[in-house]
A and B are shown apart, each in its own frame.
Chain A
């Protein structure tokens, strides 16, 4: 067993960990559809899926079986290649962004020193998924949906990046692990970077186009918008991709503002999971509770309210950092 050098073992373990994280995230994303439906049921005075397995927890298995066996239909009028590419992008771009999230001191896929930038890059790619889907479907509702999506995503990504610059400036690093450690030594960023937290959360909801920023799919208006022509597994990938987005944004909120895995008594992973779960629930609660603003109101809110707010936050943070340095 001379080939089994310590280096190789290390690589193998890292790969194994990455695979485990990948599977856990995907399964979480899929399970979330059940969690969301049960929670919505709870808040809406009804049951939600409660038939398959204990508390309906195996509903997702039943849904998977259904989805796998559905006809994988591509409309004859669609642009086949891009039509197929779009759901792949939707699911993979945010999934890949997960590599930078440190879960516990010992778990995490990659420890990039440009971690946050990598996330921005990947989040920027998600708009292509919607754009491609809307354009290649050759359907007017889909086109309107993707138009809304691209405008919305582009505007909200502008201040999503800026919202986090305060965190970066204070922690002095793009590396998420270092940001977590900085918070442990000083103060969780939720307090000094409260405005950053608010705007990043809003932008996060907008980028995953979850309600109330679900303009691109606005069921009441566009009858599902950009993925109206999708069925079977292709649609399923959009679906799971959306939930992965929720998990990712929630995990980032925890990492960047709530001290990551840190917390008393419980093991690090438990803290990380609890905090993330809380934000996931917040996403679902948002969907259950508020109406959807009009598309132009969403844009106006982004440019005239959130953007100035992030800029002010950035200026103040910059000034404080300079003062502290002197």
Chain B
């Protein structure tokens, strides 16, 4: 435990105070209930009647909150520790992000069970659309003025709202499931696409449109993703992306797992991200617990996370080139990924889903000889990247397929909640590792690659350069790895240190309870966002002072990226859509959770 860690780096206090002061000046101080949390941003409750006005004000403020970063809800009915919050059966939160201020604000609304209604925010931020659909799907909260309020994750025939506390989490709490032929037909029929439901015409004056179901099982859909295209010849007139086929209810599972035993589930959110997914979760839990981790932990975490960034980007690169029709590079990038996995495997013991970070540390110390493995990898990859660039990315056919294809500008990106390489490809320098350093990223020397055109080609080039920068970070970890413990010395560290258990009965009891029940986190709310492989990934945890999370909101980058598709691709060809899908770099597990 040497230098203070960056865990509690919060946005500069002046900035956050600013917005509260501005809001108080514009409305009145009584309008808001300020909630004290460990989220690192001001959390304000407002009355439903004022909601749109407040949101609109924040949207159009000088240095405005341009991005609706997240929007979701919570069932407050079983929450015991509410300490002066407005009475609510349900609540909905709006997490807004300002690039210019580099800070966030969270607006919450309380709702009563017999009146679950809110005005829709889709007119202020277009990406509220899917979020509101999900809140309706999961909690049954109705949004007035929403253009298409239907289920998004669950099948259209589903009964109930899964994230409500009275909705069972276990299959055994339901009657046994059966699927008769008639029921199957019914379910199939419910999936049939009706253009009229989406305000589409079946034909124009001169021709009939073709409605093409691309997916949910299609070689270039990158998972169980369905996108329905309205085609005029090969031109896409309009399209409807449909998600939910990969929905596993990770947020519901979090409410039944101990703080510790949920870690392996996070691995599977962005299944190419491995331990990168553990990071925001354990950082948020550590904020709840008030744990500061030793420097060595920060370095180990950063190193492994960057390994997974490289691994994810390599898979992106191979499949992206394959999506525009070159079949060979994917085999080479998989060879490289294997090299990276050899290091990851030696350190963590697993490949794709190591679940290796722990609350307050990591699972083990680095094994002997780790430095040689890492050094070999750092020496191996750069020349391979050069080769890909020469052989594939400078190929004129590939450039012809992707330059100028599916381009959007910074403003559009922010409006749709785009983060990560897709945002930086438009020229905006916003990488959380620099903008809001976490887990000790401020100690590292690296650059943020940017591009200008925001097209499918730029998104790829940026990721290649990001891999080089990740290698730089890994190299710095290699050369400057601090000595010290790999776990914080704190009672809530999990699994807790065992050395002193045979000396003090108190320590033994604590240890026993922690291992059998899991740690009890103080009641509060915490939040952590990180620059994950595909954009900004965050965990917003609510603890009610129990061994389990009361509500875990997982905000994933791929979800808004897919929502943006129609706004970008309408008017292009089918082949452009494929290049675009490849350039987004999404996995469906990251969309559906």
Contacts and interface: CB of A to CB of B under 8 A. Distances in A.
A46 interface: yes
Contacts of A218: 325, 575
Tell me whether chain A's interface is mostly helix, strand or loop, or mixed. helix
B398 A291 contact: yes
Interface in A193-249: 211-212, 218-223
Given A218-B575, A291-B395, A294-B573, A144 B234 contact: yes
A295 B398 contact: no
A209 B576 CA distance: 20
Interface residues of B, number: 29
Contacts, number: 80
A222 B323 CA distance: 12
Given A140-B210, A221-B578, A295-B234, A287 B327 contact: yes
Nearest to A43: B328
Contact of B397 (A40, A212, A223, A296): A212
Contacts of B79: none
A53 interface: no
Interface string B317-336: 00001111111100110010
A270 to B, nearest CB: 31
B332 A45 contact: yes
Nearest to B322: A220
A297 B578 contact: no
Contacts of B323: 220
B448 interface: no
B574 interface: yes
A44 B329 CA distance: 8
A113 interface: no
Given A218-B325, A291-B326, A294-B575, A45 B219 contact: no
Contacts of A221: 220, 574-575, 578
Contacts of A43: 328
A293 B219 contact: no
Given A219-B219, A221-B575, A291 B324 contact: yes
Contacts of A295: 234, 573, 575
A220 B400 contact: no
B573 A296 contact: yes
A293 B328 contact: no
B574 A140 contact: no
A200 to B, nearest CB: 21
Contacts of A211: 325, 327
A290 interface: yes
Nearest to A293: B397
Contacts of A44: 327-328, 331-332
Contacts of A222: 574
B575 A288 contact: no
A289 interface: yes
Interface string A30-62: 000000000010011110000000000000000
Contacts of B331: 44-46
A294 B403 CA distance: 12
A40 B329 CA distance: 12
A80 to B, nearest CB: 23
Contacts of B54: none
B573 A289 contact: no
B575 A223 contact: no
A93 B323 CA distance: 32
B207 to A, nearest CB: 14
A220 B325 contact: yes
A292 B392 CA distance: 12
Interface in B188-239: 210, 212-213, 218-220, 234
Contacts of A297: 400-401
A223 B573 contact: no
A293 B321 CA distance: 12
B219 A220 contact: yes
Interface string B280-324: 000000000000000000000000000000000000000001111
Contacts of B574: 144, 221-222
Nearest to B582: A220
A219 B220 CA distance: 8
Given A143-B210, A292-B401, A296-B573, 9 more contacts: A44-B327, A220-B324, A223-B218, A290-B395, A291-B321, A291-B325, A291-B397, A292-B324, A295-B234
17 contacts: A40-B328, A43-B328, A148-B234, A218-B325, A218-B575, A219-B219, A220-B323, A289-B328, A290-B395, A291-B321, A291-B324, A292-B325, A292-B326, A294-B400, A294-B575, A294-B576, A296-B573
Interface of A: 40, 43-46, 140-141, 143-144, 147-148, 211-212, 218-223, 287-297
Which 10 pairs from chain A and chain B are nearest by CB?
Answer: A292-B325, A291-B326, A44-B331, A291-B325, A220-B220, A294-B575, A291-B398, A291-B397, A291-B324, A293-B397
